[in-house]
């Protein structure tokens, strides 16, 4: 990694000829967005993945179907079945929530079993797990306690270990990695400041290179950081700061040979207890309790060896962060969101059948089924994306646009799913206590939306802004040629783009007329799913053309048109999610019983894409083109819709996939930690659900007798069961089953109560 501080145009003679004239015109008209140095580093980080096909307007299903969709290795699965389950059983979730304290016993177990070093290679004492495994562990732990899971999350995401692993000197690897793996050093990551949140690169934290009295060159740090997760208890902080070398002691020169004093953003390793460095205060984040607080530093002196990567790493901090975030955004936050979605799926399907009102399970009522179906399908689709994207990252791809989109959509839809689950549980969802299943995660929902790129900015600026330049087949090449003043490269890219547009317009028109029929269906996929491939190909073609048109007619203005950009992000994200769901369906062997989930997912996703397109057409902010898009385009779009969303019939089928305690319910809920059946909350609910499912044939006998008027009408309560037994409608074993189910269902719907001395703090 090398830094360039010089504008190439400043050292080159001015280009001449027709291409150069067009270049000058394009620059003057602002056709292409200007890119700042920090944006450039973000753009250059990572890779273009299958997301590039969508921006090119040509969904490449052959490539999609060749993507990995991995499983955990035997070693990783054994860790999940062993230490992870053990830890879940050990964690006193409600107690942590109340006391805000993660006990020494829990922390000791986390450290002893290697949870803190999952990403650290085995040769350094870590577990050397894949990202898929790390994400799966985080997904499970977050369901039980965000507070305890936070230790594992921070240690295994963007903090010291990840950065040292990739950029550290050998001495740093040898010293820090074993200590981080064992948990001897608890890390935290220090980027955010009061004045630098979303605009993190504008940080004021500074490091000044100076020669100390002992003659050794060192760094003096001054900083005020806030929102540091694990900050109050961390032993090792990765501090991001602006590094200055006023005395040119590092000997850095630019391309012209001039000494450089503004070195740039640098990541420095900072030990707890270093004079001038104070930590220990707590913020009180909303939701499930976890440790978070500010860090203060005044003239904190550290060695140059504390720079990640040593002196060579000075000034490369932003690039390091962007490169690791390119994949990293797809790991911990989506795993946390999935924790909520998994719990919502398990609990809502079960609760909807265990809870009875109006003499029937609430789950058979349309309004409830609608929510259950939404939760089930979104979980199916989001889990597909989690596994698909983690697998790609494990294969060496780092797709920043997809990672950002996955972080955004998983935290958004995860929140919607948990809220839908709370609606279904109504009072039982609202009353807090150890029996409440979703409440603690519900209160944590805003956290996921805030960290690692707040949702609004990610939707309205980052995802499409980066994608349109980075993933588009020609945009970045043209921008680079314009910046470097390279007429030949510019001409080739521009001609390529023109050809791409011409071919694309024809293809989009054809797909429009034929409703995607010539879009290309990958060989051998399930026939019932052909319609989704067709309509996705059609949607992608339109998306690609709209992107070309946006770049041509709005260009640099796109950066500030956040609402429009946000709709493009929506269209892109839902297409990608539908693709991931299709990949999952194929890779899991086309399970027919899961078809309703796939169908709901695709119809829902295509409906959202349609809505996004309608919004884009209605708000196209360019003269002439905008008028035609509003007056003609929008009407055509509505007449020829991609989808009207899942039908009521499909919705009921999708709801039913989790409303019976059977193989499918257990399989779809493999990502959920099932506590033992005596445990308050989910444990008791699962017991009630199992017994409810077992007693359905017996209940059917009672209902039949009621219809025949040989048994009085009433809900299935003990007195009625006794009457049914006395009347010979059911036998004694069946009566016992109903009594057991009734008791379990009563236990499962019980909410917590507190004595005044427990309630008032």
Ligand X SMILES: Cc1cc2nc3c(=O)[nH]c(=O)nc-3n(C[C@H](O)[C@H](O)[C@H](O)COP(=O)(O)OP(=O)(O)OC[C@H]3O[C@@H](n4cnc5c(N)ncnc54)[C@H](O)[C@@H]3O)c2cc1C
- Give the burial string for 659-672 (b: 16+ CB within 10 Å, else e): bbbeebbeebbebb
Residues from 566 through 585 that contact ligand X (CB under 6 A):
none
Q: What is the DSSP string of 467-513?
A: HHHHTSTTHHHHHHHHHHT-HHHHHHHHHHHHHHHHHHHHHHHHHHH
DSSP class of 591:
-
Q: Rounded to the nearest whole angstrom, what is the least distance from the CB of residue 402 to ligand X in the complex?
A: 19
Determine if 461 is a binding residue for ligand X (CB under 6 A): yes
- The stretch near ligand X (CB under 6 A) out of 400-408, 444-452, 486-494, 622-630 is 444-452
Catalytic residue among 323, 452, 486, 692: 452
Determine if 190 is a binding residue for ligand X (CB under 6 A): yes
Asked whether 149 and 169 are in contact (CB, 8 A), the reply is no
Distance CA 314, CA 308 (A): 8
Determine if 693 is a binding residue for ligand X (CB under 6 A): no
- The stretch near ligand X (CB under 6 A) out of 91-99, 141-149, 453-461, 635-643 is 453-461
Determine if 269 is a binding residue for ligand X (CB under 6 A): no
**CB nearest ligand X: which residue?**
197
Determine if 138 is a binding residue for ligand X (CB under 6 A): no
Asked whether 655 and 421 are in contact (CB, 8 A), the reply is no
The residue length of the chain stands at 761
Determine if 192 is a binding residue for ligand X (CB under 6 A): yes
Determine if 228 is a binding residue for ligand X (CB under 6 A): yes
Q: CB-wise, 235 or 747, nearer to ligand X? A: 235
Q: CB-wise, 142 or 229, nearer to ligand X? A: 229
How many residues form the binding site for ligand X (CB under 6 A)? 21
Determine if 227 is a binding residue for ligand X (CB under 6 A): yes
Query: Which of 456, 549, 552, 725 touches ligand X (CB under 6 A)?
Result: 456
Q: CB-wise, 198 or 518, nearer to ligand X? A: 198
Is 86 among the catalytic positions? no
Instruction: Give Cα separations from 293 to 4, 156, 284 (angstroms).
Output: 36, 19, 8
- Give the burial string for 70-87 (b: 16+ CB within 10 Å, else e): bebeeebeebeeebbeeb
Q: Rounded to the nearest whole angstrom, what is the least distance from the CB of residue 591 to ligand X in the complex?
A: 38
Determine if 189 is a binding residue for ligand X (CB under 6 A): yes
Q: CB-wise, 116 or 461, nearer to ligand X? A: 461
- The stretch near ligand X (CB under 6 A) out of 15-23, 456-464, 658-666, 710-718 is 456-464
Q: Where are the alpha helices (DSSP H) in 588-713?
A: 595-618, 625-628, 634-639, 648-656, 663-668, 682-694, 696-707
Distance CA 546, CA 57 (A): 9
Instruction: Give Cα separations from 502 to 432, 536, 539 (angstroms).
Output: 60, 21, 17
From the centroid of its chain, how far is CA 590? 25
Helix axes 366-394, 332-354, angle to 10 degrees: 150
Determine if 415 is a binding residue for ligand X (CB under 6 A): no
Q: Rounded to the nearest whole angstrom, what is the least distance from the CB of residue 755 to ligand X in the complex?
A: 32
- The stretch near ligand X (CB under 6 A) out of 8-16, 83-91, 333-341, 457-465 is 457-465
Determine if 285 is a binding residue for ligand X (CB under 6 A): yes
3-state secondary structure of 328: helix
Query: Which of 68, 197, 276, 433 touches ligand X (CB under 6 A)?
Result: 197
Q: What is the DSSP string of 698-743?
A: HHHHHHHHHHTTSS----S-HHHHHHHHHTTSS-HHHHHHHHHHHH
- The stretch near ligand X (CB under 6 A) out of 27-35, 77-85, 225-233, 391-399 is 225-233
Determine if 428 is a binding residue for ligand X (CB under 6 A): no
Determine if 233 is a binding residue for ligand X (CB under 6 A): no
Q: CB-wise, 561 or 735, nearer to ligand X? A: 561
Q: Rounded to the nearest whole angstrom, what is the least distance from the CB of residue 457 to ligand X in the complex?
A: 4
Residue 749 has a CB neighbour count (10 Å cut-off) of 18
Q: CB-wise, 286 or 726, nearer to ligand X? A: 286
Residues from 550 through 569 that contact ligand X (CB under 6 A):
562
Query: Which of 447, 475, 537, 699 touches ligand X (CB under 6 A)?
Result: 447
Determine if 450 is a binding residue for ligand X (CB under 6 A): yes
Asked whether 606 and 643 are in contact (CB, 8 A), the reply is yes
Is the Cα torsion angle 393, 395, 398, 402 positive or negative in sign?
negative
Determine if 451 is a binding residue for ligand X (CB under 6 A): yes
Determine if 460 is a binding residue for ligand X (CB under 6 A): yes
Among 238, 309, 229, 228, which Cα is nearest to 271's?
238
Q: Rounded to the nearest whole angstrom, what is the least distance from the CB of residue 678 to ligand X in the complex?
A: 34
3-state secondary structure of 291: coil
Among 530, 615, 609, which Cα is nearest to 577's?
609
Residues that bind ligand X (CB under 6 A): 188-192, 197-198, 227-229, 285, 292, 447, 450-451, 454, 456-457, 460-461, 562
Residues known to be catalytic: 452
């Amino acid at each position: 990694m090398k830094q360039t501080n010089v504008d190439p145009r400043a050292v080159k003679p001015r280009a001449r000829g027709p291409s150069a004239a067009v270049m000058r015109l394009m620059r003057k008209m602002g056709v292409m967005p200007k890119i700042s140095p920090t944006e450039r580093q973000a753009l250059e980080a990572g890779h273009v993945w299958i997301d590039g096909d969508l921006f090119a307007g040509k969904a490449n299903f052959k490539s999609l179907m060749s993507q990995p969709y991995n499983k955990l290795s035997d070693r990783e699965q054994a860790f999940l079945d062993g230490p992870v389950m053990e830890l879940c059983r050990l964690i006193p979730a409600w107690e942590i929530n109340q006391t805000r304290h993660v006990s020494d016993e829990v922390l000791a177990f986390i450290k002893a079993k290697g949870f803190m070093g999952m990403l650290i290679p085995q040769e350094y004492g870590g577990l050397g797990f894949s990202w898929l495994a790390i994400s799966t562990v985080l997904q499970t732990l977050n369901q039980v306690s965000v507070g305890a899971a936070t230790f594992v999350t921070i240690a295994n995401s963007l903090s010291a270990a990840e950065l040292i692993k990739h950029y550290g000197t050998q001495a740093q690897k040898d010293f820090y990695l074993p200590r981080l793996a064992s948990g001897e050093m608890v890390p935290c990551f220090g980027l955010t400041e009061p004045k630098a949140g979303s605009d993190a690169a504008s940080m004021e934290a500074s490091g000044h290179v100076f020669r100390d009295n002992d003659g050794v060159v060192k760094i003096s740090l001054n900083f005020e950081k806030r929102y540091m997760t694990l900050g109050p208890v961390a032993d090792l902080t990765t501090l991001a700061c602006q590094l200055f070398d006023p005395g040119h002691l590092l000997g850095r020169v630019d391309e012209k040979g001039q000494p450089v004093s503004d070195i740039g953003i640098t990541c420095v390793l900072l030990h707890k207890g270093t004079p001038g460095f104070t930590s220990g205060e707590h913020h009180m984040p909303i939701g499930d309790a976890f440790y978070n607080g500010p860090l203060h530093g005044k003239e904190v002196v550290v060695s140059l060896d504390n720079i990640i990567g040593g002196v060579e790493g000075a000034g490369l901090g932003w690039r390091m962060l962007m490169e690791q975030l390119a994949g990293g955004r797809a790991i911990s936050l989506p795993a946390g969101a999935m924790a909520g979605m998994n719990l919502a799926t398990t609990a809502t399907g079960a609760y909807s059948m265990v809870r009875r009102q109006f003499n029937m399970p609430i789950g058979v009522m349309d309004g409830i089924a609608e929510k259950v179906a939404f939760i089930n399908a979104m979980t199916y689709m989001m889990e597909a994306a989690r596994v698909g994207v983690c697998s790609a990252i494990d294969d060496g791809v780092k797709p920043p646009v997809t990672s950002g989109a996955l972080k955004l959509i998983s935290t958004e839809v995860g929140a919607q799913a948990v809220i839908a689950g709370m609606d279904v549980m109504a009072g039982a969802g609202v009353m807090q206590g150890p029996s409440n299943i979703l409440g603690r995660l519900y209160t944590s929902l805003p956290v996921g939306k805030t960290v690692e790129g707040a949702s609004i900015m990610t939707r309205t600026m980052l995802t499409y802004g980066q994608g349109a330049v980075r993933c588009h087949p020609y945009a970045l090449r043209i921008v680079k040629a314009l910046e470097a003043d390279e007429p030949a490269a510019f001409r080739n890219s521009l001609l390529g783009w023109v050809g791409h547009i011409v071919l694309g317009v024809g293809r989009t028109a054809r797909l429009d007329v034929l409703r995607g029929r010539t879009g290309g269906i990958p060989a051998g996929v399930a026939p019932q799913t052909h319609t989704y491939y067709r309509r996705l190909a059609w949607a992608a073609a339109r998306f690609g053309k709209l992107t070309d048109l946006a770049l041509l007619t709005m260009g640099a203005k796109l950066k500030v048109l956040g609402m429009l950009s946000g709709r493009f992000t929506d269209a892109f994200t839902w297409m990608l999610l539908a693709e991931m769901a299709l990949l999952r369906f194929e890779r899991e062997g086309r399970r027919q019983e899961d078809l309703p989930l796939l169908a709901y997912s695709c119809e829902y996703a295509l409906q959202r894409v349609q809505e996004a397109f309608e919004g884009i057409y209605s708000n196209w902010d360019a003269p002439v083109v905008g008028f035609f898009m509003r007056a003609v385009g929008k009407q055509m779009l509505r007449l020829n819709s991609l989808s009207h969303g899942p039908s009521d019939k499909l919705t009921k089928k999708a709801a039913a996939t989790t409303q019976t305690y059977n193989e499918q319910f257990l399989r779809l809920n493999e990502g959920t930690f099932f506590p033992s059946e005596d445990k308050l909350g989910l444990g008791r609910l699962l017991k009630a659900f199992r017994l409810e499912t077992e007693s359905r044939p017996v209940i059917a006998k009672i209902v039949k007798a009621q219809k025949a008027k040989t048994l009085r009408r009433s809900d299935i309560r003990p007195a009625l069961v006794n009457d049914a037994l006395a009347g010979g409608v059911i036998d004694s074993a069946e009566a016992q089953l109903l009594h057991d189910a009734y008791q379990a269902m009563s236990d499962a719907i019980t909410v917590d109560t507190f004595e005044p001395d427990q309630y008032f703090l």
